[in-house]
Structure 1
Amino acid sequence: MKTTFRMMKTKHLSLLLAVLAGGFLLSCEEDDGAENALLDAQNEINVVDVTTHDGRPFSTGVEPQSNAKYVGGPGGGVMMQGFYWDVPAGGTWWNTVKNKTTAWANAGIKAIWLPPVSKAQNGPYSMGYDPTDYYDFGNYNQNGTVETRFGSKTELQALITAAHGQSMEVYADIVINHNSGGQSEANQYTGGNTWTDFTGVASGKFPRSQHDFHPNWVHSNDGGSFGGFPDLCHDVPYVQDWLWGRSDAVAKYYKNTMKFDGWRFDYVKGFEPWVVSSWNSAVGGFSVGELWDSDVNYLNWWANNANSSVFDFAAYYKMNDAFDGNNLNKLNDDMMWKRNAYKAVTFVTNHDTDEIYNKMLAYAYILTHEGYPCIFYRDYETWLDKNKLNNLIWIHNQKATGNTSILYTDTDEYLARRNGYGGNPGLIVYINNSNSWLTRWVPTNWNNTQIKDFTGHSGWYPTTQSGGWVEIQCPPKSYSVWSPNI
């Protein structure tokens, strides 16, 4: 739906209105000026409703227990990527993350995404993306180590228990496209030797051989080989049985024994979406796929066929174009959260890619908009202002409700409204990528209501007019988030 109005921009030093004690005190001349400015604004603004669902909060799994630290708000949850590339080796990482669970829960983090937890070919130095034994969590002497890079099985279970004690979920990074660390064997399908003999894995579970990889007796290749690693064939019934079918399958062991609540599937371009759908049907839980592609049609097709969420790479690249390319009009472009907000995981950076420079503007965007936002460990713990991120997390959890209407964009301004849901009033976010304070008249859903900027960046407490219009402001290279002062 689209409604056409007009909107006016004014610089901070030429404000038409002064705000005192939550209201406007104006002379007759000022009343005339404000009325003219409002008429100009109403004739200029272009309100575009970008989503069509009812705006319910996003469900990402089990509900928190009443005695837990994390308490879900009306806006849904926030995910923490609980690692970065080359976290410290030496088996200390699980304890590092465990010691942060209380603080993260208090900040409003709903879930933690962990790196691949099983033993991989590079042993104590591996980040886990070269898996050897899916059932070795740091409890077998294999590939030159007992512990994984991150720690022992006991420490991993203690981390999961600690997170659950804070009513947070824990998501496992699942690498099922390729394997590594097998022994060499004569391969009847290639006529040479391949590193496809995994019959001697220390756990004794899911032994694999040349028949379970491409090429094999099913077909020669699935087009999803990665880095020269042996490419697992999901069309083999034996592979399906060990991944999700049998009672001690990988999926069921991770869910029922290790107590994981959900899954991040690595490199899903390497296999068909029915694989993820079958896994999810077998064990449930939250699910998100790493489909590294900016094509929204492809992202949406995959999410629907996989019965899974997907990382919103379309939004990622558009945010880079908008905030670093100095053209916030790019935020009008199509993104996964606009197509299917309930299956979109939005993010600003991750362990693989870190292109956006103006990160706080990007976090202000994803934490006020629809989708399931994911925060990167190093952004939160090291690189950015944790207090500002915590403020945005609170805003997301408490205020970011309802579907979205884009109110205005130009090269350096973006304003959008979350329309509220279930009695929650929603919000208006104002992002300013210019070097000056800016103000705008905007249409709200709140009549004769005092509002405030919940970021604290503005000291204004304006009252909306009887028709819902109000003037708000935003500092340079920053953002403000407005909602009723309740």
Structure 2
Amino acid sequence: MNKPYYLLSLLAAAFITSCSSNDEMMAETMNRPEVHDKTVNVTHHDGRPFSTGASAYSNSKFVAGPGGSVLMQGFYWDVPDGGNWWNTVKGKLTDWSNAGIGAVWLPPASKAQNGAYSMGYDPTDYYDFGNYNQNGSVETRFGSRAELEALITKAHAENMQVYADIVINHNSGGQSEYNPYAGSNTWTNFSGVASGKFPRNYNDFYKNAYGTNDEGAFGGFPDLCHANPYVQDWLWGRDDSVGKYYRNTMKFDGWRFDYVKGFGAWVVNNWNSNVGGFSVGELWDSNVNTLESWANNANSSVFDFAAYYKMDEAFDNGNLNLLNDDMMWKRNPYKAVTFVSNHDTDVIGKKMLAYAYILTHEGYPTVFYRDYEEWLNKERLNNLIWIHNNKATGTTSILYTDNDEYVARRNGYNGNPGVVVYINNSSSWQERWVQTNWTSQQIKDFTGSSGWYPTTQNDKWVKIQCAPNSYSVWSLNQ
């Protein structure tokens, strides 16, 4: 046999043998198109998860998962009246806790002007939780004080925190009195509140000796004057102040501050310094600079309205490139509370894509009661909550975006490998090569949407897929 021909035959046989013994990953490597790393790291920190702190009232049992905690907004606008809402929520706490929800935010719990019909945002007596006969009823719309206390006790037993909705910008339900600063009568006489605590009059509302106004008033309601030391003392200073009573007697773990545009950030800062507990402010503004400045000055978390409006634009208008834009969770993930809808606003149409976004990204994600209990697929939400708590760890890198596709990577923390999330806003299946943090390891889609079990290559690249108008979340198959 001709020697050159013989050597050529041996080389060909070796090549064929090598190819036939290679696995699917090698075949993919040979066919892989040229790919370039377009990774953009959008957060830079040590990778630790968002923390709300331990509950002071659950025997320190509250421990968030590796990815942090999830908050449930435990109400919606105009929940059924009749005084049974506290019992309704109490009955759901075990299931919520088992699903991985770590905290529940309740509506304003004290007696308001409309008594048994009020949603609580027109507060009269901060210490009447449904145990005094005033404003036409004993119970609030939500129930009695005993039922509220039973709810809070049950939540703590279920390893959950409880946040009170705090409305301190304005009051309602006072009696008419002559106000020399206004030169007319105002509805500012709250001297006869049934609890006997925090009596107030025209001196405690604008206009008064401290000025004509503060940062903002709401709906014509009497505007509480936080500059008055008497008001400060009753809100957070004295041992039986509103804040300390809610914390020490009612055993709330934290606060959602309503309409914080209406008063200075220093008010929340002082409350937090004197009372403690987790806090988040409702600053209805999409400007990230405004949100960040308030959060820093208030020493508080803030709802990420910037992310909320960007998600609406991105998912509903078909441009996922907008998810590259600035958001509060990117500026400071430890002070950003993300959400898809709430009792005030519900504009995002493609909600499951939005929940896939907030439950795989940084910040403190909120699930809205009606989305979870009535409107969306609870099984899919529970899957995302599990992924958030157990897999969505570390800093965030955006790997790819276009109008229809968004791929991001959570980089892992403290031995947890993190995830790659793929959101597909198109009407067909999509596939994409992405760079992971994993070398030569098998991964899977933890949503169960894809049946692929690909193996990452030596250079950490892998091809993943996503169903139409859906999402997939990939991590190590372990």
TM-score category (smaller protein): over 0.9
| Structure 2: stretches of 5+ with no match in the other structure | 1-18
Q: CA deviation at 1:35?
A: 3.3
Q: CA deviation at 1:58?
A: 1.3
User: Which string of whole-angstrom CA distances, capped at 9 and with x for unpartnered residues, describes residues 28-47 of structure 1?
Assistant: 99988733654512xx4410
Q: CA deviation at 1:67?
A: 9.3
Mapping 1:236-251, distance limit 5 Å: 236-251=228-243
What is aligned with 1:430? 422
In structure 1, the residue corresponding to 2:472 is in which secondary structure? strand
What is aligned with 1:461? 453
Q: Identical aligned pairs, as a percentage?
A: 74
What is aligned with 1:257? 249
C-alpha distance in 1 between matches for 2:128 and 2:469: 48
C-alpha distance in 1 between matches for 2:260 and 2:51: 23
Choose from 344, 353, 359 the match for 2:345: 353
C-alpha distance in 2 between matches for 1:335 and 1:28: 45
Distance 1:221 1:264, change over 3 A: same
Q: Is it true that 1:46 corresponds to 2:38 in the alignment?
A: yes
C-alpha distance in 2 between matches for 1:272 and 1:175: 14
Choose from 99, 124, 149 the match for 2:141: 149
What is aligned with 2:277? 285
C-alpha distance in 2 between matches for 1:72 and 1:273: 28
C-alpha distance in 2 between matches for 1:425 and 1:388: 22
C-alpha distance in 1 between matches for 2:457 and 2:140: 61
Distance 1:64 1:126, change over 3 A: closer
Structure 1: which amino acid aligns with 2:237? G
C-alpha distance in 2 between matches for 1:184 and 1:65: 41
Q: Is the 8 A contact 1:206 1:242 kept in 2?
A: yes
Structure 2: which amino acid aligns with 1:35? T
TM-score relative to the length of structure 1 = 0.92
Distance 1:193 1:434, change over 3 A: same
What is aligned with 1:15? none
Q: Is the 8 A contact 1:65 1:167 kept in 2?
A: no
In structure 2, the residue corresponding to 1:160 is in which secondary structure? helix
Mapping 1:84-103, distance limit 5 Å: 84-103=76-95
Structure 2: which amino acid aligns with 1:420? G
Q: Is it true that 1:376 corresponds to 2:376 in the alignment?
A: no
Output the aligned Cα RMSD.
Answer: 1.8
What is aligned with 1:332? 324
What is aligned with 1:21? none
Q: CA deviation at 1:71?
A: 5.4
Query: Structure with the greater relative contact order (CA < 8 A, sep ≥ 6): 1 or 2?
Result: 1
Structure 2: which amino acid aligns with 1:230? P
Distance 1:375 1:29, change over 3 A: closer
Structure 1: which amino acid aligns with 2:76? Y
Q: CA deviation at 1:72?
A: 2.5
Q: Is it true that 1:212 corresponds to 2:204 in the alignment?
A: yes
Please identify, of 228-237 and 215-224, the stretch whose mean Cα deviation from structure 2 is larger: 215-224
Q: Is it true that 1:83 corresponds to 2:75 in the alignment?
A: yes
Q: CA deviation at 1:475?
A: 0.2
In structure 2, the residue corresponding to 1:389 is in which secondary structure? helix
Q: Is it true that 1:389 corresponds to 2:381 in the alignment?
A: yes
Larger Rg: 2
In structure 2, the residue corresponding to 1:100 is in which secondary structure? helix
Q: Is it true that 1:322 corresponds to 2:314 in the alignment?
A: yes
Q: Is the 8 A contact 1:292 1:313 kept in 2?
A: yes
Choose from 181, 185, 203 the match for 1:189: 181
C-alpha distance in 2 between matches for 1:52 and 1:465: 26
Choose from 104, 116, 130 the match for 1:112: 104
| Structure 1: stretches of 5+ with no match in the other structure | 1-24
User: Which string of whole-angstrom CA distances, capped at 9 and with x for unpartnered residues, describes residues 257-291 of structure 1?
Assistant: 00000000000000000000000001111000000
Mapping 1:151-190, distance limit 5 Å: 151-190=143-182
Q: CA deviation at 1:68?
A: 9.6
Q: Is the 8 A contact 1:61 1:261 kept in 2?
A: no
What is aligned with 2:29? 35
User: Which string of whole-angstrom CA distances, capped at 9 and with x for unpartnered residues, describes residues 199-247 of structure 1?
Assistant: 0000000001000000100111114110000000000000000000001
Q: Is the 8 A contact 2:445 2:475 kept in 1?
A: yes
What is aligned with 2:410? 418
Structure 1: which amino acid aligns with 2:407? L
What is aligned with 2:16? none
In structure 2, the residue corresponding to 1:346 is in which secondary structure? strand
Distance 1:462 1:28, change over 3 A: closer
Please identify, of 71-80 and 475-484, the stretch whose mean Cα deviation from structure 2 is larger: 71-80
Structure 2: which amino acid aligns with 1:281? S
Structure 1: which amino acid aligns with 2:87? N
In structure 1, the residue corresponding to 2:28 is in which secondary structure? helix
TM-score relative to the length of structure 2 = 0.94
Q: Is the 8 A contact 2:55 2:253 kept in 1?
A: no
C-alpha distance in 2 between matches for 1:289 and 1:32: 52
Q: Is the 8 A contact 1:64 1:167 kept in 2?
A: no
In structure 2, the residue corresponding to 1:46 is in which secondary structure? coil
Q: CA deviation at 1:61?
A: 1.9
Q: Is the 8 A contact 1:265 1:288 kept in 2?
A: yes
Structure 2: which amino acid aligns with 1:373? P
Structure 2: which amino acid aligns with 1:90? G
Distance 1:30 1:132, change over 3 A: closer
Q: Is the 8 A contact 1:64 1:71 kept in 2?
A: no
Distance 1:336 1:424, change over 3 A: same
Distance 1:233 1:327, change over 3 A: same
C-alpha distance in 2 between matches for 1:433 and 1:327: 9
Distance 1:459 1:66, change over 3 A: farther
Q: CA deviation at 1:360?
A: 0.2
Distance 1:401 1:83, change over 3 A: same
C-alpha distance in 1 between matches for 2:26 and 2:256: 57
Q: Is the 8 A contact 2:54 2:62 kept in 1?
A: no
User: Which string of whole-angstrom CA distances, capped at 9 and with x for unpartnered residues, describes residues 183-208 of structure 1?
Assistant: 00001001100000000000000001
Q: Is the 8 A contact 1:121 1:181 kept in 2?
A: yes
User: Which string of whole-angstrom CA distances, capped at 9 and with x for unpartnered residues, describes residues 85-123 of structure 1?
Assistant: 000000000000000110000000000000000000011
Q: Is the 8 A contact 1:80 1:377 kept in 2?
A: yes
User: Which string of whole-angstrom CA distances, capped at 9 and with x for unpartnered residues, describes residues 43-82 of structure 1?
Assistant: x441000001111011112169999997531000000000
Q: Is it true that 1:398 corresponds to 2:399 in the alignment?
A: no
